[in-house]
């Protein structure tokens, strides 16, 4: 196990979609175009092969290719985080070691899904993953998707492990996020990231270090403004940016996740391609509704 790392996850980190060709293969050219768009938009990191990146449908070989292309295009300008999620500890360890071999900066590990481990079992799961890599590890809590919740007490205990450096909380429960922050405050080497895009400003007020945000694929500058303005002391500007972003996150329900993000990118001229089946394309009516949201946000003319 490594000594406590100085790596600090912070700022706005898009949960990057995985662009696909019509045949469902990884689209390298579109990925490079998307990365340029995100970095030009002022984001502070990139998070690949997560929930938004449809990690559940990618083979280890495809993940390796995505890691390599992202690192090549990013070229050290901002950190690259990779999701190394598995239902079993064994799978997560294998994917984490693959990410380390590719020289990814840090990994994010979602709680197991489909099974419902106890808090003690979750502790052991993360402890084992951290012990098998020298990379910084981010915990990832997303009970609406997995049915598994990391309690604040478990997270406070996991924060003692040297290379566990952060948690992304997508629970949507701001009380829980605040408890993560309260129970780990005063630790220079652990912080909390918001995973629900409508709550970035609220989490920053509590002391979160930033957000891993799906909406940042589509509106990187707007998301970055929430963080940058907050850090500069412009709370009014930060809150305005948060309110301007809200309709996009709320529009996620128009199609099956992550179709809304990919369709939004297509409307902005970035060909992110289809989602993995069984998730299908949005209807003409849904797409028009989404187009109106993007126009209302000033992202489309």
Is residue 86 in some structural domain?
yes
Longest dimension (CA), the chain: 54
pLDDT digits (tens, 9 = 90+) for 90-141: 999 999 999 999 999 999 999 999 999 999 999 999 999 999 999 999 999 9
For residue 286, how many C-alpha atoms fall within 13 Å in the half-sphere facing its CB? 15
Is residue 48 in some structural domain?
yes
Q: Say how far apart CA 220 and CA 16 lie, in whole Å.
A: 11
Instruction: Work out the average pLDDT over 272-280.
Output: 96
Torsion of CA 205, 250, 220, 61, to 10 degrees: 110
Is residue 247 in some structural domain?
no
In this prediction the pTM is 0.96
Closest CA to 56 of 271, 275, 208: 275
Domain count, the chain: 1
| Token pair in block for residue 86 | 């598995």
pLDDT digits (tens, 9 = 90+) for 216-226: 999 999 999 99
Range of the domain at 122: 11-238
Alpha helices, DSSP H only, in 13-151?
28-40, 60-74, 89-101, 119-131, 143-146
Is residue 197 in some structural domain?
yes
pLDDT digits (tens, 9 = 90+) for 157-188: 999 999 999 999 999 999 999 999 999 998 88
Known active-site residue 168:
yes
pLDDT at 5: 63
Name the active-site residue from 140, 180, 201, 206: 140
52 marked ligand binding residue? yes
Closest CA to 148 of 192, 107, 114: 114
Is residue 267 in some structural domain?
no
Is residue 22 in some structural domain?
yes
Question: Under DSSP, is residue 117 helix (H, G, I), strand (E, B) or coil?
Answer: coil
Is residue 299 in some structural domain?
no
Name the active-site residue from 81, 123, 126, 168: 168
pLDDT at 3: 45
Known active-site residue 56:
no
Closest CA to 119 of 71, 155, 160, 69: 155
Query: Which residues contact residue 278 at a Cβ distance below 8 angstroms, ignoring those fewer than 6 apart?
Result: none
- Helices first, then strands: H and E counts in the chain: 12, 8
Is residue 60 in some structural domain?
yes
Mean pLDDT (the chain, rounded)? 96
pLDDT digits (tens, 9 = 90+) for 70-93: 999 999 999 999 999 999 999 999
Q: Say how far apart CA 167 and CA 16 lie, in whole Å.
A: 18
CATH number for the domain that contains residue 106: 3.20.20.70
Q: Say how far apart CA 272 and CA 286 lie, in whole Å.
A: 17
């Amino acid at each position: 196990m490594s000594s406590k790392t100085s790596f600090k996850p912070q700022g706005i980190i898009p949960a990057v979609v995985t662009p696909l060709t019509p045949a469902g293969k990884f689209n390298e050219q579109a990925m490079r175009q998307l990365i340029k768009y995100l970095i030009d938009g002022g984001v502070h990191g990139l998070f690949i092969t997560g929930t938004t990146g449809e990690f559940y449908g990618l083979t280890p070989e495809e993940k390796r290719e995505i890691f390599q292309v992202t690192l090549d295009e990013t070229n050290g300008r901002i950190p690259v985080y990779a999701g190394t999620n598995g239902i079993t500890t064994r799978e997560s360890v294998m994917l984490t070691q693959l990410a380390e071999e590719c020289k990814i900066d840090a990994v994010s590990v979602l709680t197991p899904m489909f099974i419902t481990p106890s808090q003690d079992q979750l502790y052991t799961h993360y402890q084992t993953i951290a012990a098998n890599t020298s990379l910084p590890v981010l915990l990832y809590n997303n009970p609406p998707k997995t049915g598994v919740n990391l309690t604040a007490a478990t997270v406070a205990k996991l924060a003692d492990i040297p290379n566990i450096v952060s948690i992304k909380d997508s629970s949507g429960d701001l009380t829980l996020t605040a408890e993560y922050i309260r129970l780990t405050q005063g630790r220079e080497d652990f912080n909390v990231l918001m995973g629900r895009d409508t709550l970035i400003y609220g989490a920053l007020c509590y002391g979160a270090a930033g957000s891993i945000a799906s909406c940042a694929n589509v509106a990187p500058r707007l998301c970055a403004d929430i963080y940058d303005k907050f850090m500069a002391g412009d709370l009014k500007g930060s809150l305005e940016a948060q309110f301007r972003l809200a309709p996009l996150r709320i529009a996620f329900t128009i199609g099956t996740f992550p179709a809304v993000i990919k369709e939004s990118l297509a409307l902005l001229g970035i060909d992110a391609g289809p989602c993995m089946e069984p998730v299908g394309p949005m209807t003409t009516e849904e797409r028009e509704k989404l187009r109106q949201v993007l126009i209302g946000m000033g992202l489309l003319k």
